[in-house]
């Protein structure tokens, strides 16, 4: 994991937030390559959810919502972790922290921070929502929350979307947006952060049909995840036991990935029943029923949710792509006999190709600039003329760039270039005029 974190910084994928001030706990910034990678993942999700389906609409709800939303949703009372404080060192721990020996609140309990005995308090519930104040007065009545999930913005807009889009149940609403959780045991790079992005879709169905839709969405989501190019043996399902289920869920499955720190969830499929809509109907005093135009039945829809973290999915993609390899042949003599390479699916890669003049003379830079200008109209491409060609290839391997386009002596004679494949290291000679078609074909999928 340390190697991936340092590669992410070196190549401009992810930086620690406010690094010059010593960083801010579990908050990260995406650099030039990271923002492209995450955007490609989000766009792929949006395309598959919204553009390629007739029964799902998009939404972008605000982060700030009426505070009653979070009472109705159960987050004010139920979105908590049990925590214990050490009276000696003042550190705070999750009550289920495996490093705690003994029972917190009892004299035998030992603090995992300072080692003192009998200094840990009995567990208290700690709410994970960030609070702030709306307006000029910092008083209880002005408290609002940064949303801890994007789903509630969908529920409170479900009738607006239904009516304006003229959808009929079953139908879904999809949204990508920021969420905030004051996590107590954050960590593992961008796995668990306090500010993150979710890609959530709520599918509204007739009560009684939710189990079928639940299975349908489980299959769809696994297909989508596999489409990211993730190795199948690194993926598995985990069904929530009774004690793991969130306060709103009747059934839940996580898609887990085998991270370097173990199997962990990065997406959940939840049967949320009519929990949220019924509670909003009650708290807001507004009818949220659906009138079935065919049968004239009125009902509150059930909801099947697919909830993925954009950052965690990015981490899955990065972890799965990271390889250290031995190199043989010409490339070994040019760039060294080992390499670090991100074997990203080409369509997800931040840069699709890099353009290299072999040397900075003999007409090569001019032709290389022209080819770079032509390509950038279609793809995100990079120009690099610094250092040996071997070193330039290696930098792009670390960036996950699938193709290296080199302009050499022959290029200025016959307008052909070599295209090096990141994974096979094989080189094709391609006519410059056919380069866009060649890359388009290779980048599909």
**Taking CB under 6 A as the rule, does residue 312 contact ligand ATP?**
yes
Does 265 bind ligand ATP (CB under 6 A)? Our answer is yes
Report the residue from 36, 57, 81, 267 that binds ligand ATP according to the rule CB under 6 A. 267
Q: Cα–Cα distance between 252 and 374 in angstroms, integer?
A: 49
Which CB sits closer to ligand ATP, 302 or 382? 302
Q: Shortest gap between Cβ of 187 and ligand ATP (angstroms)?
A: 10
Tally helices (H) and strands (E) across the chain: 14, 23
Q: Is 309 or 350 the residue whose CB approaches ligand ATP more closely?
A: 309
**Region from 67-75, 84-92, 190-198, 227-235 binding ligand ATP, contact rule CB under 6 A:** 190-198
Among 11, 75, 147, 192, binds ligand ATP (CB under 6 A): 192
Q: How far apart are CA 364 and CA 333, in angstroms?
A: 23
Our finding on whether 266 is near ligand ATP (CB under 6 A) is yes
- 311 lines the binding site for ligand ATP (CB under 6 A): yes
Task: Pick one of 113, 309, 335, 346: the residue that binds ligand ATP (CB under 6 A).
Answer: 309
193 binds ligand ATP (CB under 6 A): yes
Residue ranges in 137-156 that form contacts with ligand ATP under rule CB under 6 A? 149
Q: Which of 56, 84, 308, 399 binds ligand ATP (CB under 6 A)?
A: 308
Question: Contacts with ligand ATP: how many residues (CB under 6 A)?
Answer: 16
Euclidean distance between CA atoms 222 and 208, whole angstroms: 24
Task: Provide the strand spans (E) within 327-366.
Answer: 338-342, 353-357
Segment lying near ligand ATP (by CB under 6 A), choices 31-39, 68-76, 131-139, 191-199: 191-199
CB of residue 196 vs ligand ATP: minimum separation in angstroms?
4
CA distances from 90 to 123, 161, 182, 187 (A): 14, 48, 18, 20
| 256 near ligand ATP, rule: CB under 6 A | no
Binds ligand ATP by CB under 6 A, chosen from 123, 153, 172, 268: 268
Which one, of 260, 263, 264, 383, lies nearest residue 321 by Cα?
A: 260
Contacts of the segment 42-46: beta carbons below 8 A, 24+ positions apart: 42/176, 42/197, 42/199, 42/310, 44/227, 44/228, 44/347, 44/348, 45/176, 45/199, 45/224, 45/308, 45/310, 46/174, 46/176, 46/199
Segment interacting with ligand ATP, rule: CB under 6 A, options 259-267, 271-279, 326-334, 344-352: 259-267
Taking a C-beta distance cutoff of 8 angstroms, is the pair 283, 70 a contact?
Answer: no
Residues 155-184 that bind ligand ATP (CB under 6 A): 181, 183
- Burial profile 195-229: b = 16 or more Cβ within 10 angstroms, e = fewer: bbbbbbbbbbbbeeebeebbebbbebbbebbeebb
Angstrom distance (rounded) from CA 209 to CA 350: 40
Instruction: Single out the residue of 13, 79, 196, 383 in contact with ligand ATP (rule: CB under 6 A).
Output: 196
Binding site for ligand ATP (CB under 6 A): 149, 181, 183, 192-193, 196, 198, 265-268, 307-309, 311-312
């Amino acid at each position: 994991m340390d190697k991936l974190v340092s590669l992410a910084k070196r190549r401009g994928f992810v930086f620690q937030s406010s690094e010059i001030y010593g960083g801010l706990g579990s908050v990260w910034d995406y650099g030039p390559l990271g923002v492209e990678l995450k955007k490609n993942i989000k766009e792929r999700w949006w395309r598959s959810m919204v553009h390629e389906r007739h029964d799902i609409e998009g939404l972008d709800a605000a982060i700030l919502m009426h505070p009653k939303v979070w009472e109705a949703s159960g987050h004010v009372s139920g979105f908590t972790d049990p925590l214990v404080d050490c009276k000696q060192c003042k550190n705070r721990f999750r009550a289920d922290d495996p490093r705690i020996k003994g029972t917190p609140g009892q004299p035998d309990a030992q603090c995992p921070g300072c080692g003192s005995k009998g200094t840990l308090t009995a567990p208290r519930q700690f709410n994970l929502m960030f609070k702030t104040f709306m307006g000029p007065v910092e008083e209880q009545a002005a408290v609002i929350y940064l949303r801890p999930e994007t789903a509630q913005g969908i529920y409170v807009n479900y009738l607006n979307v239904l009516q304006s889009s003229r959808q009929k149940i079953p139908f879904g609403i999809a949204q990508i947006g920021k969420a905030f959780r004051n996590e107590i045991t954050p960590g593992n790079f961008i796995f668990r952060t306090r500010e993150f992005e979710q890609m959530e879709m709520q599918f509204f169905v007739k009560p009684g049909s939710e189990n079928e839709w639940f299975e349908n969405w489980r299959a769809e989501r696994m297909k989508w995840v596999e489409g990211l190019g993730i190795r199948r043996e690194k993926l598995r399902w985990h069904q929530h036991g009774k004690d793991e289920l969130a306060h709103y869920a009747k059934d839940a499955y996580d898609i887990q990935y085998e991270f370097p720190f173990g199997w962990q969830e990065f997406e959940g499929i939840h049967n949320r029943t009519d929990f949220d809509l019924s509670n909003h109907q009650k708290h807001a005093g507004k009818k949220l029923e659906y009138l079935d135009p065919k049968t004239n039945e009125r009902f509150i829809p059930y909801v099947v949710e697919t909830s993925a973290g954009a950052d965690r999915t990015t981490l899955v993609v990065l972890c799965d792509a990271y390889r250290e390899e031995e190199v043989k042949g010409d490339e070994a003599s040019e760039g060294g006999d080992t390499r670090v390479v991100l074997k990203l699916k080409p369509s997800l890669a931040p840069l699709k190709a890099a353009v290299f003049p072999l040397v900075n003379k003999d007409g090569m830079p001019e032709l290389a600039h022209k080819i770079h200008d032509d390509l950038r109209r279609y793809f995100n491409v990079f120009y690099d003329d610094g250092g040996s060609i071997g070193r330039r290839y290696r930098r792009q391997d670390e960036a996950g760039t699938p193709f290296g386009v080199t302009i050499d002596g022959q290029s200025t004679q016959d307008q052909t270039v070599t295209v090096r494949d990141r994974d096979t290291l094989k080189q094709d000679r391609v006519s410059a005029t056919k380069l866009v078609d060649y890359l388009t074909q290779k980048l599909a999928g």
